[in-house]
Structure 1
Amino acid sequence: MKVDFIIVGHGLASVAVTEHLRRFNKSFIVFSNENPNSSSKVAAGLYNPITGRKMKQTWMAEHLFSYLEAFYSDLEKNLNATFLYKKSIYRPFLSLEDQNDWMIREHKNKMFIKETFTNTNFKAFINDDFGGILLDKSGFLDVKEMLHHHKNKLIEKNQFIIEDFNYEKLVRNDSHVLYGDVESENIIFCDGPLSQNPFFDWLPTAPVKGEILHIKTEKPLPDDIIFNRGVFIVKNPQQEYYRVGATYEWKNLDYQPTEKAKQQLTEKLDELLQVKYQIIDQVAGIRPASKDRRPLIGKHPEWKNVFIFNGLGTKGVSLAPYFALQFVEYIINSKKLNDEVNINRYYPLYSN
């Protein structure tokens, strides 16, 4: 079999890359095996233009958020499935000082603000004595559902091989790469945390373990709102429970839920939520992230047909579409990659 691209891995990154390759009429084959604990399968999938304790506009929001909803909506149509949920995110103020600080900065974020409240608006559900901001261009992606339908479509088109990729079997030269009976002009690694990848193990990664609670509430919360301050509370219409998250752990990188994370989440949830709830499950995953919190995208410093699209971290849903388009145009049309994501920023760390 001859293709233009071999893609290793099947998560958010892989979906975004393959769908942009398809737009350029490039052929590809994906190699991946099931990992029920991958970050893409357990993530809540939020996309949120105003983040952090100080509620600041996220990096490159004006570019990312004008593209992502159109991309995922088109993908829904192509896969005949539903996995994108456009919902307003409500972020309550924590104090009058918090409210005043926001009012000073509000004009800088107007494109993402639906409404600002200076008095309580959701008192029956959460603690918001000082009001809060209701965000626009926000919501969540059911990543697990998207991956399920995307994988089935690739299998149907003979573009997916269920197999753990064996890095030692890859044969590479200047004109192409060989893997088993597949000959390809290029290979792109979208394989999550990089500890096992010998081609890019020199990159300074910082994988992050994240844990999420599944809860049932005594009464339903508003269907069209995601509450988010300290923790997020989001419900998929196809499920009976809410997801609450998330934690950040850089040391103990396994897939086992912990009592420590459960305590962290419940303490923050109790500060936010007014409604009684019951914990029904707890899940963990590992996000592929970089030390400078920017994606790891680009070409191997020595081998011109070996590429990486990885390190999307906690904001993968919003980062993947925009940078996949930029990445594919970089490969096919030699367009410039954003300097902050291009792995050439780390070339001095490479030694062959």
Structure 2
Amino acid sequence: MKVDFIIVGHGLASVAVVEHLRKHNSSFVVFSDENPNSSSKVAAGLYNPVTGRKMKQTWLADQLFPYLEEFYGDLEKSLNAEFLHKKAIYRPFLSLEDQNDWMAKQNTDNYFIKKTFTQSQYPKFIADDFGGLLLNRSGFLDVKEMLDQHKEKLIEDGQFINEKLEYEKLEVKENQIFYNDIESEKIIFCDGPLSHNPFFDWLPTAPVKGEILHIKMGETLPEDVIFNRGVFLVKNPQHDYYRVGATYEWKNLDYEPTEKAKKQLTDKLDDLLNVNYTIVDQVAGIRPASKDRRPLIGNHPERKNVFIFNGLGTKGVSLAPYFACQFVNSIFNLEKLNDEVNINRYYPLYSS
């Protein structure tokens, strides 16, 4: 088999890269051994343009968020599926001081702030005594549904190989790459946080373990809004439970749920919710992230046909489409890759 690209991995990063390669009429094959605990599989898929305790607009929000809705919307149409759920995010104020700070800022032009409330809007469901903010261009991606539908299409088109690519079997030459019976011009690694990839093991990664609770409630929360303060609450569209998350752990990088994380999440959930709930499950995944919290994208320093698209961290849903477009365009010399994500910023760390 001859292809233009070998793609390693099948998560958010891979889907975004593959779909932009299609626009260039490139041929490809995707290798994935389908890790059920990958961050893409367990993620709630929230996308939120205004984050953090001070509710600042996220990096490149003006470019990222319009494009992600266009990208995933087009992908839904091509796969005849539904996985992008556009919903307003409601972030309750923590105190009167918190409210006053935002009232002082309300004259500032922030496209992503839909409305500011100074009185409780959802007292039956949550603690929002001081009102809160309602955000635009937000929602969640049902990542597992998207990946399942995308994989089905790849299999149907003969573009998916359900096995782990073994690095030692790769034969990388100047203009060709050989792997078993496959001949390719280029290879792109989208292989997650703990792959121990020998081509890119010199990059300073900082994988992050995250845990999420699945809960059921006697009350059904409003369908048109996502609550987010300390933790987020996202209804799973395929089941009757809500996802609650997420935690951040940089040391114990395994896939085992912990009591520590459960307590962190339930403490914050108890502060937010005014209704009773039951925990039905707890899941863990590991996010591929970098030490400077910027994606790891670009070309190997010596092997000009070897690439990486990785390190999207906690904001993969919003980062993947925009930077996959830029990355693929850069491969075809149509666009320059953003300096903040280009791995050439770490070339001094590389030694052949």
Shared fold by TM > 0.5? yes
Aligned counterpart, 1:227: 227
| In structure 1, C-alpha distance between the alignment counterparts of 2:198 and 2:103, rounded to whole Å | 49
**1:348 and 2:352 aligned:** no
Letter of the 1:45 counterpart: G
Aligned counterpart, 1:258: 258
- Alignment identity in percent? 76
Alignment of 1:196-207 (within 5 A): 196-207=196-207
**1:146 and 2:134 aligned:** no
Aligned counterpart, 1:10: 10
Secondary structure (helix, strand or coil) at the match of 2:110 reads helix
Give CA-to-partner distance per residue, 1:9-62, whole Å, 9 cap, x none: 000000000000001111110011111100000000000001011111011000
| In structure 1, C-alpha distance between the alignment counterparts of 2:78 and 2:178, rounded to whole Å | 30
Give CA-to-partner distance per residue, 1:113-154, whole Å, 9 cap, x none: 221101111111111111100111100000000000100100
Distance 1:64 1:348, change over 3 A: same
| In structure 2, C-alpha distance between the alignment counterparts of 1:302 and 1:92, rounded to whole Å | 50
Aligned counterpart, 1:125: 125
Letter of the 1:160 counterpart: F
CA drift of 1:227 comes to: 0.2
CA drift of 1:194 comes to: 4.5
Question: Which runs of no fewer than 5 residues in structure 1 stay unpaired?
Answer: none
Aligned counterpart, 1:165: 165
| In structure 1, C-alpha distance between the alignment counterparts of 2:92 and 2:287, rounded to whole Å | 27
| In structure 2, C-alpha distance between the alignment counterparts of 1:191 and 1:143, rounded to whole Å | 16
Aligned counterpart, 2:97: 97
- The answer to whether the 8 A contact 1:89-1:227 is kept is yes
| In structure 2, C-alpha distance between the alignment counterparts of 1:323 and 1:129, rounded to whole Å | 40
| In structure 1, C-alpha distance between the alignment counterparts of 2:63 and 2:103, rounded to whole Å | 24
Q: TM-score, normalised by structure 1?
A: 0.98
Q: TM-score, normalised by structure 2?
A: 0.98
- The answer to whether the 8 A contact 1:194-1:205 is kept is no
Alignment of 1:43-192 (within 5 A): 43-108=43-108, 110-192=110-192
Secondary structure (helix, strand or coil) at the match of 2:204 reads coil
Distance 1:332 1:255, change over 3 A: same
Q: CA RMSD in A?
A: 1.0
Give CA-to-partner distance per residue, 1:288-316, whole Å, 9 cap, x none: 00011100000001110000000000000
Give CA-to-partner distance per residue, 1:60-113, whole Å, 9 cap, x none: 000000100110011001111110100010001101111122233344452112
Secondary structure (helix, strand or coil) at the match of 1:346 reads helix
| In structure 2, C-alpha distance between the alignment counterparts of 1:94 and 1:288, rounded to whole Å | 31
Aligned counterpart, 2:305: 305
| In structure 1, C-alpha distance between the alignment counterparts of 2:344 and 2:110, rounded to whole Å | 35
Aligned counterpart, 2:210: 210
Distance 1:107 1:181, change over 3 A: farther
Distance 1:109 1:7, change over 3 A: farther
Give CA-to-partner distance per residue, 1:240-285, whole Å, 9 cap, x none: 0000000000000000000000000000000011111111110000
**1:248 and 2:270 aligned:** no
Aligned counterpart, 2:193: 193
CA drift of 1:334 comes to: 4.5
Secondary structure (helix, strand or coil) at the match of 1:16 reads helix
Aligned counterpart, 1:324: 324
Letter of the 1:91 counterpart: R
Give CA-to-partner distance per residue, 1:145-196, whole Å, 9 cap, x none: 0000100100100101011110001101111111111111100000001451
Secondary structure (helix, strand or coil) at the match of 1:111 reads coil
CA drift of 1:238 comes to: 2.2
Secondary structure (helix, strand or coil) at the match of 1:110 reads coil
Distance 1:271 1:164, change over 3 A: same
